[in-house]
Amino acid sequence: TWDEVVKYKSKVVEDYFKLKHDLDSVSGVDSLTDFEILAIAYDRLYEADEMIKEASKAINALNKSAACDNLGYADVRLMTVYTWYSMVNRGNLSFDEDELYSSADYALSRAREVCSYAQFLSFLPEKADQLMDQSEELIQSGRYIYSMFKSYQATAICRINMETVGLDNNTLKIKVSNDINVTREKLCKEQRKGIIPIMAMSYLEYAQSFYNNGDYVNAVVYLTYAKEFAYFTEQIAYDLGIIVHIRNKPLIPRSFGIDSYVLYLLLFLLGLGIGVLYRAVRM
């Protein structure tokens, strides 16, 4: 019944705000692994928010099926958020966030440079401007790692349009295939240095899945994010001297009798499957 749909929406919205509060309340993040985990959790939270908005539109349009579908996917996304959030403080690599001011400032300057070029070519999305404004505010409040995340998002958004302009579908397919291979090799090199670029790996798997399904435009979107966040992780590691310190040590420790790296990959695949299924249904 509609009463049940509305009640379900209230429950999902309540869970959303509770998890958002929990994530916003995390302070003193001093582990590269923890930061990447939180960034992924925020990304999934954003997806849940978008699905809740779609559900609200469906309810207003009296489309019960679409409302239930979107609420269901939002609910699962929130469970994924909780799973990632519960992994915070399991990293073994610490740093002082104050050391990252110059990195955050550089990331924002780089984003502005790329976006200025995009604007010159008439490819500057409004979202990129908003992200750079948020990044600057975060620097001023001393939240350097979150500022960097916003800056690299803005850079990726601007690069997406610039990298695809004028390409037909076949050329785009070839470009994406080559870029996936190059990016995968780059991530392998980072892992050999002792870095597990969690966000980049997650986005690369999304890109590979869309490529396999012939959706080269979405493949470019996620591939661009993968490339930017691979650079992001490597930049932090070099700035903090992490690569030198842990060259022969694993970034993620073993726990619960299973390699945590394997556990993370399983979660990637779970999130990937849900995301692709959701998009397929909406199409």
| pLDDT (0 to 100) of residue 13 | 93
CA distances from 17 to 21, 45, 52 (A): 6, 10, 12
Q: Which amino acid is at 138?
A: L
What are φ and ψ of residue 252, in 5° steps? -105, 125
Long-range residue pairs from 275-280, CB within 8 A, at least 24 positions apart, any chain: 275/47, 275/206, 276/206, 276/209, 276/210, 276/213, 277/73, 278/51, 278/73, 279/218
Residues 62 and 15 in one domain: yes
Of 165, 199, 218, which marks where a domain is finished? 165
Q: What is the pLDDT of residues 240-257, one digit of tens each?
A: 665 433 333 333 333 333
Residues 176 and 263 in one domain: no
Of 134, 165, 196, which marks where a domain is finished? 165
pLDDT at 161 over 70: yes
Residues 195 and 154 in one domain: no
User: Range with the lowest mean pLDDT among 27-31, 140-144, 231-235?
Assistant: 27-31
Q: What is the pLDDT of residues 33-83, one digit of tens each?
A: 777 777 778 878 888 898 899 999 998 888 888 888 888 888 878 877 776
For residue 263, name the pLDDT band (cuts at 50, 70, 90). very low
Q: Which amino acid is at 174?
A: I
Q: Average pLDDT in the 149-174 region? A: 84
The domain in which residue 79 lies consists of 1-92+254-283
Residues 222 and 173 in one domain: yes
- CB 89: neighbour CB atoms within 10 A? 13
| pLDDT (0 to 100) of residue 174 | 92
Burial of residue 169 (CB within 10 Å: 0-12, 13-18, 19+) is exposed
Q: What is the pLDDT of residues 192-202, one digit of tens each?
A: 766 667 778 87
| pLDDT (0 to 100) of residue 247 | 34
Residues 73 and 119 in one domain: no
Residues 6 and 87 in one domain: yes
How far is it, in rounded angstroms, from Cα 104 to Cα 100? 6
Q: How many domains does the chain have?
A: 3
Give me Rg for the CA atoms of the chain: 19
pLDDT at 142 over 70: yes
Of 115, 149, 165, which marks where a domain is finished? 165
Residues 233 and 280 in one domain: no
| pLDDT (0 to 100) of residue 65 | 85
Residues 45 and 64 in one domain: yes
Q: What is the pLDDT of residues 92-141, one digit of tens each?
A: 445 556 667 888 898 899 999 988 888 887 667 788 889 999 999 989 98
Residues 227 and 276 in one domain: no
Q: What is the residue-wise DSSP string for 181-235?
A: HHHHHHHHHHHHTT---HHHHHHHHHHHHHHHTT-HHHHHHHHHHHHHHHHHHHH
Helix/strand/coil (H/E/C) assignment for every residue in 24-60: HCCCCCCEHHHHHHHHHHHHHHHHHHHHHHHHHHHHH
Contacting residues for 210 by C-beta, under 8 A, at least 6 apart: 216, 218, 219, 222, 276
| pLDDT (0 to 100) of residue 109 | 93
Per cent of the chain over pLDDT 90 is 13
Mean pLDDT of the chain: 76
